[in-house]
Amino acid sequence: MLERGGDVDDRSKKVHAFWQTNVLDLESNVQFGEGGAGTFSDGKLTTRINDKRSEQVLKAFVEAGAPEEILYKGKPHIGTDLLKDVVKNIRNRIISLGGEVRFHSKVTDIRFSNGAVKSVVVNHQEEILCNIVVLAIGHSARDTYEILLQRGIEIIQKPFSIGVRIEHLQKTIDIAQYGDYAGHPRLKAADYQLVYKSPDRTCYSFCMCPGGVVVAAASEYNSVVTNGMSEFARDRENANSALVVSVGPGDFGGIDGVSSAHPLAGVAFQKRWERLAFEVGGSNYTAPVQKVGDFLQGVPSKSIGSVKPSYTGNVIPTDLTKCLPAYVINTMKNGLRYFAKKIEGYASPDVIMTGVETRTSAPIRIPRNETGEAVKLKGLYPTGEGAGYAGGIVSAAVDGIRIAEEIIKKYAPIA
């Protein structure tokens, strides 16, 4: 297994250094390193897919040290604090079975011969001969997307969503969801899932993190990206969730000279708003924030109210309309007013929003055939979220199992 970033312990040091000093490591950050983006998340294991392999995934997590309750809870989660040990145990299990895990080993090229995989190049230096490559690169490996495109691998645009992280006091959500039972010791931090549909777009909550924090999740210089994270106890003061609006290929054209037809137009679209958020925040990795009351009134925020941002870096009150498209802003406003009817206090004036959230899912898909291989290329298996075939920890793992089964059929068929 080739991992561009460091092991989870080294990676954690780099991540916390970025949060404290704004010194970003391009290879070990919230997106890259052992465990991928999921390691610095809520570790939620809910999924919309109906696949028997999901149970296999949950059992594997328990065997690696996850709480046994994930096998029977309706909305299982592990939490970032426990996930760090879980991914380490999975790594050790791979090694015990004869596997090799190499960190700081970035794949900088994939070579082909006669329509089949020939080798991969690591760190521009070492060539590893192989005839199978399982490409599980995650949704933020934009440089790898470029390499694949240069090598003639088909990539197509895919819809995703962008917006902000919205934060409430956790007790506000608890009261709205539990009523008089809020605060009961047997009730854990409440969550929510909200959807508003306009004639042409959808606004919805995503990756809700009860009792969590908003994290600085940039993986490129001069950009601001947010994500959410919770520990297993979910006992922090704030609840946070992505508040995002759907976007698609029709929105992507004409950014930085990238045409609307370019396979990576969605990547250019993401980069534009991440860089604007960086500029609006002061060009020093400070994240722009705005109170919901000011946002709905169309005025910049000049102060922070009763809901204090939990963002792991610095924040500045400002105007989020400067770093999001107008159609996203308008849909978010309508969504907030609608959600306020569903959850009391959802759109209260002091509720805080932090920009921007752009990495809800991969902006591309790598087409594959019935055997799971990239179209017209033998031996290359695009897999998981980064290839456009999953939307979370469990669905990505299930897709990986599915690909493993296809490889087994080819090389070691079960009688």
Q: Output the domain CATH number for residue 60.
A: 3.50.50.60
Q: Quick one: 241 and 351 in the same domain? A: yes
Q: Quick one: 341 and 205 in the same domain? A: yes
Q: Quick one: 94 and 105 in the same domain? A: yes
Please report the pLDDT score of residue 287 as a whole number. 98
Give per-residue pLDDT as tens, 45-56: 999 899 999 999
Identity at 88, one-letter amino acid code: K
Q: Quick one: 391 and 306 in the same domain? A: no
Give per-residue pLDDT as tens, 175-209: 999 999 999 999 999 999 999 999 999 999 999 99
**Tens digit of pLDDT at every position of the chain (415 positions):** 999 999 999 999 999 999 999 999 999 999 999 999 999 998 999 998 999 999 999 999 999 999 999 999 999 999 999 999 999 999 999 999 999 999 999 999 999 999 999 999 999 999 999 999 999 999 999 999 999 999 999 999 999 999 999 999 999 999 999 999 999 999 999 999 999 999 999 999 999 999 999 999 999 999 999 999 999 999 999 999 999 999 999 999 788 888 999 999 999 999 999 999 999 999 999 999 999 999 999 999 999 999 999 999 999 999 999 999 999 999 999 999 999 999 999 999 999 999 999 999 999 999 999 999 999 999 999 999 999 999 999 999 999 999 999 999 998 876 6
Would the CA dihedral through 18, 24, 27, 29 be positive or negative? positive
Please report the pLDDT score of residue 254 as a whole number. 80
> pTM of the full predicted structure?
0.95
- Please check whether residue 263 is in contact with residue 364, taking contact to mean a CB–CB distance below 8 angstroms: yes
Pair of tokens at residue 86: 């879980």
SS3 string, 50-106, reads: CCCHHHHHHHHHHHCCCCHHHHCCCCCECCHHHHHHHHHHHHHHHHHCCCCCECCCC
Residue 1 is assigned to a structural domain of this protein: no
The dihedrals phi and psi of 245, each to the nearest 5 degrees, come to -130, 140
Q: Quick one: 30 and 124 in the same domain? A: yes
Q: Domain count for the chain, please give it.
A: 2
Please report the pLDDT score of residue 280 as a whole number. 98
- Please check whether residue 53 is in contact with residue 402, taking contact to mean a CB–CB distance below 8 angstroms: yes
- Quote the domain boundaries for residue 207: 159-357
Residue 218 is assigned to a structural domain of this protein: yes
